Amino acid sequence: MKRTKINTLLHQGQVNQIVNVKGWVRTFRSNRFIALNDGSTINNLQAVVDFENFDETLLKRINTGACVSVTGTLVESQGKGQSMEVIVETLEIIGDADAEKYPLQPKKHSLEFLREIAHLRVRTNTFSAIYRVRHAMIFAVHNFFNEKGFFNVHTPIITGSDAEGAGEMFRVTTLDLKNTPLTEEEEINFKEDFFEKETNLTVSGQLEGETAALALSEIYTFGPTFRAENSNTTRHLAEFWMVEPEMAFYDLNDNMDLAESFLKYLVNYALEHCKDDLNFLNNRYEEEQKAKPQNERTEMGLVEHLEFVKNNNFERVSYTEAIDILKGSKPNKKKKFKYLIEEWGADLQSEHERFLVEKHFKKPVILYNYPKNIKAFYMRNNEDDKTVAAMDVLFPGIGEIIGGSQREERLEVLKSRIIEMGIEESEMNWYLDTRRFGSAPHSGFGLGFERMIQFITGMGNIRDVIPFPRTPGNAAY
């Protein structure tokens, strides 16, 4: 008999029909009620076994975690909490799970414990919901850009350009580390390496993305990026996914408009397509908030947060205005910030970003026109010669979720920035060619995909929104 997915049954199932369902046992209670889940939805299907008609040894194998196939009649449920259930006629154990050894017991496990068994945590309600929401968001990203006529471009994952500038890189090499070939100057001879030069894992697809935008007009990349930053925070991974649109003929304002409508589209997509999972995550979030001390709780629930972002304009604030606000703020005056804001030019830390978003404006904020000294070489110089046309989108609970800029399209200005930053010009010739031939104003940004999933799911730690997180000291699986 053909198997039907639980999600299909619960939405389109016809009562009094014989159905087959396969899935994993969540609980088996009173020797009678199996809560069965096949991952197609957060909702379990109740399968009712009349224990008198079943062999005792078979019943003993219906343990939490076991994989089973049940065939029986779909009926309207008698009990509370579910609309339909299956009265089991035949039951087959597909894969046993030893109740003594199975790590996931039908009780609450801590997120920390589940991180240690990342290969099994997808079988919990929380993680299966996160995996499904993540899928929906991947789909929504492609939908958004496809509908707008952007082209998806695959930029390289192994990069030979060492000036991406966004962070520390992971080296890619096939050299024998015990016996590295040396040059006459006793330095590692990368001419003998696989690519005959130094290569790394990419930190961003932007520079290659720009070359495509200056031919296809509007493109986006959506790929893995790698940063060997030794920051053990709840918002940093060593391997994460980034969405990077790049658009010819967009100035900084156009860039901010696109970023805002993109984020709202994703939030709205989740609200419309992930209702059951978001309800579950919303309850999880509320319980987590209740366990916190009063002053650390957020005022809004998860779904309320999402509705709020969807329905309100983001606050656009220049870096200079932000510094004035921060300088005069209570935590700065009372020396509550770890890094006090003393003068214009200071780099903003996440405590400052979160103050602006959560305490001052109480809504998402787009900061723009940052001091050029704290930003990358490719950002467009403003008239004041002090700031560049950069923008960061800051979200409640997250801090920076997007970083972007209008790019420097003027060859001479860009060249002098490259020299100022001590970057080898010859290495950047391919990039400079885009400015030598048919240069045009253009802009783009990068959305950290996992930070977005954190926002949508309300998960506090970025390690919980990617199936197999890579962080300093952790590359299991």
Contact positions vs ligand ATP (CB under 6 A): 166-167, 227, 229, 236-237, 240, 242, 400-403, 446, 448, 450-451
Out of ligand ATP, Mn ion, none, what residue 246 binds, judged by CB under 5 to 8 A for its kind, is none
Give the up-direction half-sphere exposure of residue 402: CA atoms within 13 A in the CB hemisphere.
28
Out of ligand ATP, Mn ion, none, what residue 402 binds, judged by CB under 5 to 8 A for its kind, is ligand ATP
- Write the burial class of residue 22 (CB in 10 Å: 0-12 exposed, 13-18 middle, 19+ buried): middle
Nearest-CB residue for Mn ion: 403
Amino acid making up residue 417: R
Q: Which of 227, 130, 171, 249 is nearest to 446 (CA)?
A: 227
Q: Residue 373, SS3?
A: helix
How far is the CA of 252 from the CAs of 144, 225, 397, 445, in angstroms? Answer: 20, 24, 25, 10
Nearer to ligand ATP, 21 or 462 (CB): 462
Nearest-CB residue for ligand ATP: 448
| Structure tokens belonging to residue 395 | 């979200």
Minimal distance, residue 205 CB to ligand ATP, in Å:
11
Minimal distance, residue 392 CB to Mn ion, in Å:
6
Nearer to ligand ATP, 24 or 250 (CB): 250
Minimal distance, residue 448 CB to ligand ATP, in Å:
2
Residues 360-399 vs Mn ion: string with x where CB under 5 A? ----------------------------------------
3-state helix, strand, coil in the chain (%, to 5): 35, 25, 40
Decide if 228 contacts 167 (C-beta within 8 A): yes
Out of ligand ATP, Mn ion, none, what residue 242 binds, judged by CB under 5 to 8 A for its kind, is ligand ATP
Minimal distance, residue 245 CB to Mn ion, in Å:
15
Q: Which residues of 268-282 are buried (b: 16+ CB within 10 A; e: fewer)?
A: bbbeebbeebbebbb
DSSP 63-96: -TT-EEEEEEEEEE-SSSS-SEEEEEEEEEEEE-
Residues 149-168 vs Mn ion: string with x where CB under 5 A? --------------------
Minimal distance, residue 138 CB to Mn ion, in Å:
22
Minimal distance, residue 390 CB to ligand ATP, in Å:
9
Q: Which of 95, 85, 123 is nearest to 6 (CA)?
A: 85
Sequence-ordered list of residues with C-beta below 8 angstroms from that of 69, at least 6 positions apart, any chain: 3, 20, 21, 22, 91, 92, 94
Any contact of residue 403 with Mn ion (CB under 5 A)? yes
Nearer to ligand ATP, 72 or 205 (CB): 205
Nearer to Mn ion, 38 or 164 (CB): 164
Out of Mn ion, ligand ATP, none, what residue 166 binds, judged by CB under 5 to 8 A for its kind, is ligand ATP
Nearer to ligand ATP, 364 or 403 (CB): 403
Q: Residue 211, SS3?
A: helix
Out of Mn ion, ligand ATP, none, what residue 240 binds, judged by CB under 5 to 8 A for its kind, is ligand ATP
Nearer to ligand ATP, 417 or 463 (CB): 463
Nearer to ligand ATP, 44 or 255 (CB): 255
Q: Give the span between the Cα atoms of 362 and 359, in whole angstroms.
A: 6
Minimal distance, residue 216 CB to Mn ion, in Å:
25
Q: Residue 428, SS3?
A: helix
Nearer to ligand ATP, 85 or 408 (CB): 408
Sequence-ordered list of residues with C-beta below 8 angstroms from that of 202, at least 6 positions apart, any chain: 155, 156, 157, 158, 159, 164, 223, 225, 226
Nearer to Mn ion, 13 or 403 (CB): 403
Nearer to ligand ATP, 406 or 439 (CB): 406
Minimal distance, residue 386 CB to ligand ATP, in Å:
20
Q: Give the span between the Cα atoms of 370 and 348, in whole angstroms.
A: 10
Out of ligand ATP, Mn ion, none, what residue 401 binds, judged by CB under 5 to 8 A for its kind, is ligand ATP
Minimal distance, residue 400 CB to Mn ion, in Å:
5
Q: What is the dihedral of CA 95, 97, 103, 105, to 10 degrees?
A: 110
Q: Give the span between the Cα atoms of 276 and 282, in whole angstroms.
A: 10
Minimal distance, residue 257 CB to ligand ATP, in Å:
18
Q: Which residues bind Mn ion (CB under 5 A)?
A: 403
